[in-house]
Amino acid sequence: MKKTKLLTGFLMAIALIFTSCSKEEDAAIKDDEKAYLSFQTQINDLIPKNHSKQADLDIPECTVGTPAFVEIILSNGDVYVAGSESNPLRLDLNPNAPDTNGDGAPDYFTEESATLELNPGIYTLQYFTVLDADANVLWIAPMDDNSPGGIDDMVEQSLPMDINLGAGVKKYQNVEVVCFDDRIVNQYGYLFYDLNGIQLIEFCIFGNYCDETGRHAEYVSFSVDVWKYSHNPLDPKGEMLYDDEENAIVVTDYEDYAETAAVPLCITLPDGPGLDEYYLEITLLYPGEEGTLIRSGLISDADVTALFNGEDEVEYYHFREGNCNLDDSPVLLDVPEEGL
């Protein structure tokens, strides 16, 4: 009986040894299958890009500051894997940044993070900012705005950026960043994010035009100019935010006819702490007399946020021009007097 117990104990010990080895081997295999992601910034100063319309806004040189960390949002399909819209992931930057491309500017790279030990696959970088130790945004990777002449055209690859990670790969992903200037915060493409204490709020405009019989036009084309309010009622136009921004017109061709429709124009406005006010002008392009100023006046950030409908929907400001016999909804802007 004693020998049997000893033999049983010996066999159990051998089994435990093999089980332990097997688990260690499995862990090693799993580690080898992981991908390791870091980021490297490549700064692209806005100043030399004189071909962009942003150059007309007198953009200053980059803010003086020492980069300390980055904030990112990374997703896999529809699932966030690093950071979220309300809480981006913060990654420390290596302070000993080399000049890897010989342009005279240091190329900062992020320290290793366990959060970025990922399974192989395709991930999407949706947000990327570079900040100093006081959490001030210094540089930013612009978002694609789907139109020519914007800040996103100053980089080879704007966001969102797909990143393909293979098993066992340690990847340093280059991300081009441009200088951040809070005067043009609405030009970087980041909606509803807090950038240096400034959030962006969306304001949408739609219009109808009625002829002398009250019949609605098939579509209305208009342009919008927007300034920050100067706080001078006699000269309300401060810093310009939008210049001749036009709504889109969509033509759909069917087999025996075509249909034309207007799309609401949505613009983003900077919303800092306290009251923010903006001066707007809406100019009619079609129908009616082209180039006619039809609305002007002040709106506030409170007017804009009052149009929010939950977290994901924004109601539009609906103007009605001509003989529609209905007021704007809501009534926000003035109708200029004739001859002015």
Relative to beta strand 121-132, strand 161-165 is antiparallel
Question: Do 287 and 209 share a structural domain?
Answer: yes
| pLDDT 10s digits, 108-157 | 899 989 999 999 999 999 999 999 999 999 999 999 877 777 788 888 89
CATH number at 102 reads: 2.60.40.3540
Question: Do 42 and 176 share a structural domain?
Answer: yes
Phi/psi for 139 (5° steps) reads -130, 160
Question: Do 311 and 215 share a structural domain?
Answer: yes
Domain boundary among 146, 166, 187: 187
Q: Is 106 exposed, middle or buried (0-12, 13-18, 19+ CB in 10 A)?
A: middle
* The Cα angle at residue 160 between residues 227 and 266, in degrees rounded to 5: 30
Q: Measured between alpha carbons, how far is residue 210 from residues 82, 287, 315, 320, 323 in Å?
A: 51, 9, 22, 8, 5
Residue 270 located in a structural domain: yes
The dihedral formed by the CA atoms of 170, 175, 181 and 187, expressed in degrees to the nearest 10: -130
Per the structure, the complete domain to which residue 210 belongs is given by: 199-322
* The Cα angle at residue 308 between residues 236 and 210, in degrees rounded to 5: 70
Which residue shows structure tokens 């033509």? 251
The dihedral formed by the CA atoms of 42, 48, 50 and 54, expressed in degrees to the nearest 10: 50
Beta bridge partners of 284: 222, 292
For residues 282 and 226, what is the distance between their CA atoms, to the nearest angstrom?
9
Question: Do 126 and 223 share a structural domain?
Answer: no
Question: Do 109 and 245 share a structural domain?
Answer: no
What's the length of the chain?
A: 340
Residue 155 located in a structural domain: yes
Residues 6+ apart with CB under 8 A from 27: none
For residues 196 and 210, what is the distance between their CA atoms, to the nearest angstrom?
44
Residue 276 located in a structural domain: yes
For residues 215 and 157, what is the distance between their CA atoms, to the nearest angstrom?
47
Question: Do 164 and 48 share a structural domain?
Answer: yes
Question: Do 168 and 40 share a structural domain?
Answer: yes
87: its two tokens: 């809480």
For residues 59 and 254, what is the distance between their CA atoms, to the nearest angstrom?
46
Considering its fold, how many domains does the chain have in total? 2
What's the confidence (pLDDT) of residue 316?
95
For residues 295 and 321, what is the distance between their CA atoms, to the nearest angstrom?
9
What's the confidence (pLDDT) of residue 32?
62
Residues 6+ apart with CB under 8 A from 106: 97, 98, 99
What's the confidence (pLDDT) of residue 311?
63
What's the confidence (pLDDT) of residue 199?
85
* The Cα angle at residue 77 between residues 73 and 78, in degrees rounded to 5: 75
CA-based nearest residue to 147, from 57, 315, 267, 318:
267
Question: Do 71 and 47 share a structural domain?
Answer: yes
**Residues of the chain under the 70 pLDDT cut:** 1-32, 44-63, 311-312, 338-340
Question: Do 230 and 128 share a structural domain?
Answer: no
Residue 5 located in a structural domain: no
What's the confidence (pLDDT) of residue 45?
54
Instruction: Kindly give the residue spans of alpha helices, DSSP state H, lying in the chain.
Output: 2-33, 301-305
Question: Do 144 and 224 share a structural domain?
Answer: no
Question: Cα-atom radius of gyration of the chain, to the nearest Å?
Answer: 28
Residue 16 located in a structural domain: no
Question: Do 250 and 165 share a structural domain?
Answer: no
What's the confidence (pLDDT) of residue 80?
94
Domain boundary among 131, 165, 187: 187
Residue 13 located in a structural domain: no
Residue 2 located in a structural domain: no
What's the confidence (pLDDT) of residue 288?
86
Question: Do 71 and 139 share a structural domain?
Answer: yes
